[in-house]
Structure 1
Amino acid sequence: MNSAENKRSIMVGIFVLIAIVIFVIGILTLGGQQKKFIESITVSTVFSDVEGLKVGNNVWFSGVKIGTVKDIRLHGESQVQVLMNLEQSAQQYIRQNSKARISSESLIGNKIIEIFGGTPATGQVQDGDVLASEANLNTDDIMKTLQENNKNLSNITSNFSVISDKLVRGEGTVGTLLNDSTLAKDFKSMVASLETTSQNAARASRDLSRFTSKLNTKGSLADNLLTDTTVFSSLESSMAELEKATQSATQMAQNLEQASSKFNNENNAVGVLLNDPDFAGQLQRTMQNLETSSEKLDANMEALQSNFLLRGYFRKKDKEQREAAEEAQEKQPEQEQQQPVQQPVKEEK
């Protein structure tokens, strides 16, 4: 065998070896994706419609791939049984009352089985257990819902078009607001008034806050009235005294009213004096007569003093009065001398 054939044999052997290595790597890769070389358990579930699910599709739990679909077979009259290989490492997280449903990896991606739910009290799932299934919305139902939503959106768009057309023409309340300048000014003034009112309300709230803080200030009158029982009892006694004074004033007013009613009554002397004009005239004439009589009496007394028979008597009276006045003046300095002189008191430093 020449060198060329040897070289060709070596190249063929290398390519065969490379192909075998690639084949083995592919097998290991596909087996790893399909969980062929991982210890697993088999569980099943029953669906009314698998919606295009195929053998080899993934099984997910909480967003993590934990197994693959092992087999799909008809079950009962119109149901489908799905067998799933699940990793033993995920067995502790799946409960016996967990449920399975068919979902998609994306909007148009492959179908998958999603396991969810379950309570720890029921225990973990075991090999050969059957999980309950939950019906999922299929694509036809979703398309029907989308068609209904499209119809509703079309109606909403047409209605909005009619409303916007009316607004442009100035029809309705909102259209009038948008097109009537006078009404717009009134609306602006109303908004300004509301703003002023809100500012006043905020100012009143601040004043009320300051007032309440003053009420809570220690040592203030309001705080003493609210917290000090001694001040409250004093205030209570003062209110009782004020109530008594009010009652006394009321009784006094009633007495004055009774007295004034008696003054207006002509059956008593005061009432006659105040209300009878004839008696008032008589009383006035009487007073005038008394005044005239007193004047005449004074004149008669002066005449008697001038009479020579009584002149000595009046002179004797005048002399006695002068002597009594002189004695009183002489006694007054003696009393002033007898009074002790008070020494000024020195202030202690």
Structure 2
Amino acid sequence: MNESSRKRNILVGVFIFVGLLFLLGGILLVGNLHETFKRKMELVTVFDEVNGLQTGANVWLSGVKIGKVRNIKINPSRNVVVTLAIEENAQQFILKDAQTKIGTDGLIGNKVVVIFGGTANTPTVHDGDTLTVGNTISTEDMMIKLGKNNENLLAITADFKTISHKLTTKEGTVGKLINDDAMYDNINSIAVSLNKASIKSEKVIASLNEYTSKLNKKGTLSNDLVTDTIVFNSIKKSVLELQKMTKSANELMANLKDASANPNSAMGVLLHDEQSGASLKKTIQNLETSSEKLDEDLKAAQSNFLLRGYFKDKEKAAKKQQKAQEQQ
């Protein structure tokens, strides 16, 4: 073999070796096989049922893939023991009181194990620790609830169908209200009446507000009656005096009525005895005649020369006294 063919074989071997390295690197990258060489720790969790979880399923923490399901087995108590292979660099984020649940990768994707929760200031997990299972809702439970919801929707739809039938056939109050024009007109008139009543009530309330504002205004009679006890007591006293006066007047009228009804009393004689009334009238006339004669006698006495000086002196003294009073 000459030297040129030897060099050619070496170059071919180098190219084949480099190609194998690239092929191996591509396989590791595409198949994510490089994680196989990472150091991992084991955690255990026990489920009542795994709902189709399989070995090799992903383990998620806060939406980040941190490991895979290494083993699934059933223990004597018929619980499912799931062993998780967790990357050691994720250990610092998993707390001892964290919980696990079975989720879905997407809406209808593969089953995954989700680690969640944990109390702050709680130590982190160690290799071989067991995580508790949180309360989760399985797909079966969701389907059962959806079935019940569907039944409820069917019942509601049937009720709406019955109601719509009554509305279209003028059955029931609402159906008659929608289809009967007379009932609508009555309700409309009632609404108009209520509107008028509300307007009147607003006016009444405004009047009451105005009256109460006057009550609060100092210096007015209403405010004094409400707030001033002296005015109130005076009015109360005046009312009591009026009551007493009314009572006395009633008693006086009763006495006058009794006296006028008694023919033996002075009032009864004056009212019922015509002779006594005529005599009293004649006496009054005589008194008037006597007073006229007395005036004439006084005038005659004043003109008498014996008494003329007395009356003049008396008249002068009266004028002097009147003048002194006017000067004061």
Alignment of 1:90-101 (within 5 A): 90-101=90-101
Query: Quick one: structure 1 residues 169 and 203, their matched pair in 2 at CA, closer, same or farther if it must change by over 3 Å?
Result: same
Q: Deviations over 1:104-141 (max 9, x none)?
A: 12221111111223323653222211111246444344
- Contact 1:71–1:82 under 8 Å retained in 2: yes
**Cα distance in 1 between the residues matched to 2:309 and 2:177:** 114
Provide the secondary structure at the position in 2 that maps to 1:109. Answer: coil
- Report the CA distance between 1:29 and its aligned residue: 5.4
Match of 2:76 in 1: 76
Matched with 1:264 is 254
Aligned CA distance change for structure 1 residues 143 and 334 (closer, same or farther; 3 Å): closer
Change in CA separation of 1:242 and 1:140 when aligned onto 2, cut-off 3 Å: closer
Identity %: 27
Q: Which residue does 1:226 correspond to in 2?
A: none
Cα offset for 1:18?
A: 3.5
Partner deviation per Cα, 1:44-64 (whole Å, 9 max, x = no partner)? 111222222122222222333
In terms of mean alpha carbon deviation, does 154-163 or 13-22 score higher? 13-22
Sort the Cα spacing of 1:254 and 1:53 in 2 relative to 1 into closer, same or farther, 3 A.
Answer: same
Does the CA contact (< 8 Å) of 1:264 and 1:271 recur in 2? no
Partner of 1:279: 270
Where 1:49 maps in the other structure, the secondary structure is coil
**How far 1:262 sits from its partner (Å)?**
4.4
What code does the residue aligned with 1:178 have?
A: I
Report the TM-score, using the length of structure 1 for normalisation: 0.67
Classify the secondary structure of the residue corresponding to 1:112: strand
Report Cα offsets for 1:215-243 as digits up to 9, x if no partner: 9xxxx958xxxxxxxxx9xx97x415632
Whole-angstrom distance in 2 between the partners of 1:275 and 1:58: 134
Cα distance 1:206–1:320, how it changes in 2: closer, same or farther (>3 A)?
A: closer
- Which amino acid in structure 2 is aligned with residue 21 of structure 1? F
Letter in structure 2 aligned against 1:17: V
| Inter-partner Cα distance in structure 2 for 1:17 and 1:325 | 172
Counterpart code for 2:103:
S
Is residue 72–residue 80 contact of structure 1 (8 Å, CA) maintained in 2? yes
Range moving further from structure 2, 290-299 or 108-117: 290-299
Alignment coverage as a number of residue pairs: 317
Q: Does 2:240 match 1:250? A: yes
Look up the match of 2:221: none
Match of 2:54 in 1: 54
The answer on whether the counterparts of 2:259 and 2:267 sit within 8 Å (CA) in structure 1 is no
Which residue identity lines up with residue 282 of structure 2 in the other structure?
Answer: N
C-alpha deviation, 1:272, in angstroms: 7.4
Match of 2:21 in 1: 20
Contact 2:98–2:132 (CA under 8 A) maintained in structure 1: yes
Please list every run of 5 or more consecutive structure 1 residues that lacks an aligned counterpart in the other structure.
223-231, 341-349
Deviations 1:138-159 (A, max 9, x none): 4344334333433333333233
Give the conservation status (yes or no) of the 8 Å contact 2:260–2:267: no
**Alpha-carbon shift at residue 84 of structure 1 (Å):** 1.2
Separation in 2, partners of 1:320, 1:150: 141
Structure 1 distance, partners of 2:308, 2:114, is 148
What TM-score do the two structures reach when normalised by structure 2?
Answer: 0.71
What are the Cα deviations for residues 247-277 of structure 1, in whole angstroms up to 9, with x where unaligned? 4641552354145314423699899799954
Q: Does 1:323 align with 2:312?
A: yes
Structure 2 segments unaligned to the other structure (5+ residues)? 219-223
Describe the shift of the 1:260–1:194 C-alpha distance in structure 2 as closer, same or farther (beyond 3 A): closer
Inter-partner Cα distance in structure 1 for 2:21 and 2:194: 87
Moved more, 274-283 or 81-90: 274-283
CA distance in 2, matches of 1:184, 1:132: 66
